[in-house]
Amino acid sequence: MARIVFIGAGSVEFTKNVLSDILTLPGLGASTLVLHDIDAERLGTAETMANWMVAHLGLPAKVEAHTDRRAAVDGADYVINEIAVGGFEATKIDFEVPARHGVRQTIADTLGIGGIFRALRTIPVMVALGNDLAELAPDALLLNYTNPMTMIPRSVWDGTPFKNVVGICHSVRDTQERLANLVGVPVDEVGFVTAGVNHQAFVLKFEHEGRDLYPRLAEVVEADPKLRATVRAEVFTRFGHFPTESSVHGSEYLPWFLRHDDQVEHFGVQIGAYLEWSRENLDSYAETRRRLAAGEGVEVEPMSELASEIIHSIETGTRRIVHGNVCNDGLISNLPPDACVEVPCVVDRSGVNPTRIGAMPPQLAALNRTFLNVGDLTVRAALEGRRDHVHQAAALDPNTAATLTLPQIHDLVEDMIDAHGDSLPEGIRR
């Protein structure tokens, strides 16, 4: 059976969700589940949890745990990446240093100054992983959850010989369900085409029985003051297509919101939301440890995680359509060919097969390019050790540029480099 490796398995709640799927989907219950983390305590918690789940379900699956990444990935069929380099302390830096310079953020993991530095400290680890896979598991499929999604898969295929990388995220699927609910049509009866870049993809087609549902959606938005006072609805109204990311997250990719007190208040944007969520995750981890130590176990509840569904489709031939983040290579003709783009993919025994979209509406491609410019320079900065590219990426970031002058951005970047220290690539750190 399949050898399925979890990189960053110490993210215990997330690991539990994916394991719940793998262990309950037919045909995967005899898999070898390989857990890796550099934090021995968290790895031990994940191992205890996985063994409890396997025993609770009475399955023949095997569980391995390794602090050595090479031992974990050797011979892998699938590798699920969920690392957070630097953990909560690094996340605090990503928020607190920019805040001292007057830059507001909400999630800080995808774009913005926080996204840039999350990428800079993550890319060296991903390059090392890609090189390990090229040597030890060249036929494996790397399924990446770690943000920033437009940068992490690209860093592997640009910086290593290993190319079989697909980024996965729930934002498209969740958006499609939300839109179907808003217009009152069952989601399985709606014809969707959604594409762009991760966290800034757009619903390009939204139809039911050949009828365009966008006019109906516009009526729903106009009739609901609370819905109208969201960033997503504002972008939809101004640009003609609904974006896939939440209003909290989407606000920090654009220049028009976080800089202005009245816009933050009007749209109800939660500054620093991810810090609060991260603290809650620490509490959740502590409770999971307590339950396992007390022999209470954990809840095994299928979560429809994309990684497990992709693995199931490849292993069993069950055809699914998922949205994957892959190398563009002409899939979206008016975005850069080397960009990481999010498009529908057909998954079956042959693997993950992306769909060609053609040209996006020009206003949407223009928004995506401002997003991709930051990622392009950040990946180059990490792979080439170019500090100047870090400064340039920050200067081109929409939210940062709307808030600070160029000299102020320079000082912010230098302070971030000092704060993150040796976690950054050589050539960028002091």
Tell me how far apart the alpha carbons of residues 95 and 271 are, in angstroms, rounded to a whole number.
10
Which among 10, 7, 15, 61 has a CA at the least distance from the CA of 298? 15
**Number of neighbours of residue 76 by Cβ within 10 angstroms:** 23
Q: Let me know the angle formed at the C-alpha of 379 by 373 and 383, rounded to the nearest 5 degrees.
A: 150
Tell me how far apart the alpha carbons of residues 242 and 182 are, in angstroms, rounded to a whole number.
12
Relative orientation angle of helices 273-293 and 40-57, to the nearest 10 degrees: 60
Task: Evaluate whether 142 touches 168 at the Cβ level (below 8 Å).
Answer: no
Indicate which residue of 101, 170, 260, 266 is catalytic.
170
**What residue spans of 260-361 are helical by DSSP H?**
261-266, 273-293, 306-316
Q: Is 147 annotated as a binding residue?
A: yes
Task: Evaluate whether 235 touches 218 at the Cβ level (below 8 Å).
Answer: no
What long-range pairs does 38-43 form, CB within 8 A, spacing at least 24?
38/67, 39/10, 40/67, 41/10, 42/9, 42/10, 42/11, 42/12, 42/285, 43/9, 43/10, 43/67
> Annotated catalytic, 170?
yes
Q: Is 327 annotated as a binding residue?
A: no
Q: Is 272 exposed, middle or buried (0-12, 13-18, 19+ CB in 10 A)?
A: middle
Tell me how far apart the alpha carbons of residues 75 and 87 are, in angstroms, rounded to a whole number.
28
Pairing of strands 3-7, 32-36: parallel
- Binding site for Mn(2+), by residue number, is 169, 199
Residue set of the binding site? 147, 169, 199
The binding site for substrate comprises 147
Active-site amino acid positions = 170
